[in-house]
Chains A and B, each alone.
Chain A
Amino acid sequence: MTKKYILGLFRDEEPLLHAVNELRKEGNKIHEVYTPFPVHGLDDALGYKRSRLPRAAFLFGCLGGTLGLSMQAWMLGVDWPMNIGGKPALAWVDFVPVTFELTVLITALGMVATYLVASDFIPGNEPKMPDPRITSDVFCIAIDVEGASATVGSRLRQLGAEVQEKEVEL
């Protein structure tokens, strides 16, 4: 669904970061900011909470470790114990490498799957972005026209942005 946005386009990250701080201080609501590379401090300036992906990773890690260890213990210790020179069937030290590998594997795959789903990254999805130059050298602040103050356009211009009004899906 498309909506009308006021776009402030910048050519550099410092004026962008400055503008974000100023606009938020003045009580404007910013829909989203788009940049060609990760700009440090931008998520704090926008007041974004820390990503919960590390927590997802931790849970997948617990799952992977438990699955890996219990699979080996069950297979060699319970389902088909073997007598190898009278040594214990439940030789847990031997299970460490595979447990480790499965922990890493399931954490990585689980977290990346969570990342793709959370970000709505599906192969072939059309990008919801205000300007195609963003992936090269343009930094963009998008403000929803609905509920924006009438002066926000001129304020953006004052902060060094090139201002556009566009009907896009973001």
Chain B
Amino acid sequence: MFESPTRRPLITGKTSYSQITEDIIKPIEAKPTKWWYLGFTVSLAALGLWLLSVTYLLFTGVGVWGLNKTVDWGWDITNFVWWVGIGHAGTLISAVLLLFRQKWRTAVNRSAEAMTIFAVVCAGSYPLLHAGRPWLIYWVFPLPNTYGSLWSNFNSPLLWDVFAISTYLTVSLVFWYVGLIPDLATIRDRAVGIRRKIYGLMSFGWNGSAKGWQRFESVSLILAGLSTPLVLSVHTIVSFDFATSVIPGWHTTIFPPYFVAGAVFSGFAMVQTLLIIMRKSMRLEQYITLNHIDVMNKIILVTGSIVGSAYITEFFIAWYSAVPYEQYAFANRMFGPYWWAYWTMMTCNVITPQLFWSRKLRRSLTASFIISIFVNIGMWFERFVIIVTSLHRDYLPSSWLMYSPSWVEICMYIGSLGLFFTLFFLFAKFLPVIAVAEVKSIYKTSSEEEIAKTAAKEGLDLQQAHAHTKGAH
């Protein structure tokens, strides 16, 4: 396939097929670095905090949270929506970008999908614990029972959410694992002894045959086709939890697209945060290049702008509707007792991503890292603002209450970060963080060396060509 040599390379430096295998598989075979041990220990400590606070919660009851009869959703649902949102980038990268044949996807899809799965696990823990008695959680499923059978209420968005999140987790996990099989076989074929046994067990007897690859590509394409509407449906359904209610500030039709854009926005920010650390600490700069960081920043800019427009639209509609409750809800967000949460959200989500119009900032690791953290914080506050500011002013002023989290909620939040990072550190140690076979498949068209060869053949001055296509990718 013809590929213009003026395109910027996605694999830089001196590489070959065996070198790609070596670079990506080596960290799995070698002893973990000091940094890995340090990061893993900190994550484990936070996970311990999670176990402690959850145990206390289960033995005492949901009353240990700071919720009250007016604000009955607080940090629990904020964290749930935040984590689900973060879990959107992985599938978007692996599915939507596969359908669009975006080659840069190959370097980041594996770790982004892993993040998706771990984030959805963290997200799922919140409604599970919010239900109060998690050991009875199977009651949400339509199982025959001795009460009639009394079935689940399929008219309820909360039940749709159960189906959406569990389907999303299952399909993401299956998609991820199907893609992992060839790479697990690569590890198997380099290993001896117990490691060979374990990776042999996990790679299902993959042999790299032409028929095997044909089936593999067919399955990947269909899973991508299925995951694309799925990923859009998940956050749409999460937004229905709010939009189908009659709470001013929630009852708006803009919610589904606005939530999906916000989810992609926060998901990419988290991918950016982790990849910038990972490429450095695992020496993957040749594969996760500045060009990758640059395109992801562009997606952050686009989705951030959609989110910003949605905020403004919401405001306009609240005013234009002439419904006093609606108008009050939005004025209260800006100038009410939670004004600081609102303005944190606005600053982090609307202003910071706009900095990415500058090519220099898009290609600066420090700037990308800092802005991605800002977006993570801003998107957390978005959910907090939507949930808490809408609830704390009830219809009767006598029911107006304030909400602040208890230590259990704070520990559970820090703890869920611990759960996420513990899983991620284990993933980085035991599984290939970059899709080895997929990167090899773009080697001929997108590596610096091969591009230079093509350019030489066509008598093209690459430096001059790049000067002309500055910023184009």
Contact = CB atoms under 8 A, between A and B. Distances in A.
Interface of A: 11, 13, 32-40, 42-43, 46, 48, 50-51, 53-54, 57, 71-72, 75-76, 79-80, 84, 91, 94-95, 97-98, 100-102, 104-105, 107-109, 111-112, 115-116, 118-129, 132-137
B148 A80 contact: yes
A16 B159 CA distance: 53
A58 to B, nearest CB: 9
B212 A119 contact: yes
Nearest to A74: B151
B18 A42 contact: no
Contact of B219 (A42, A43, A53, A71): A53
Top-9 shortest CB links A-B:
A125-B205, A137-B17, A121-B204, A129-B207, A75-B151, A38-B213, A132-B189, A137-B18, A97-B160
A37 B437 contact: yes
A126 B437 contact: no
Interface residues of B, number: 65
A138 to B, nearest CB: 9
B160 A53 contact: no
Contact of B215 (A42, A53, A76, A102): A53
Contacts of B171: 104-105, 108
Contact of B205 (A36, A76, A104, A128): A128
A108 B173 CA distance: 11
A109 B201 contact: no
22 contacts: A35-B208, A36-B21, A36-B208, A37-B437, A38-B216, A38-B217, A71-B142, A75-B151, A80-B148, A94-B154, A101-B233, A104-B230, A109-B174, A119-B212, A121-B181, A121-B206, A122-B204, A122-B205, A127-B207, A129-B209, A132-B189, A136-B21
Interface centre among B201, B208, B210, B212 (most CB of A within 10 A): B208
Given A13-B444, A94-B154, A97-B233, A105 B167 contact: yes
Nearest to B25: A136
Contacts of B160: 97-98, 101
Nearest to A42: B210
Contacts of A46: 210
A136 B210 CA distance: 15
B280 interface: no
Contacts of B261: none
B155 A84 contact: yes
A39 B213 CA distance: 8
A105 B233 CA distance: 13
A112 B190 contact: no
A75 B142 contact: yes
Contact of A116 (B190, B204, B208): B204
Interface string B129-170: 000000000000010000011111111010110011001001
A127 B185 contact: yes
B206 A127 contact: yes
A109 B222 contact: no
Contact of A136 (B174, B189, B216, B438): B189
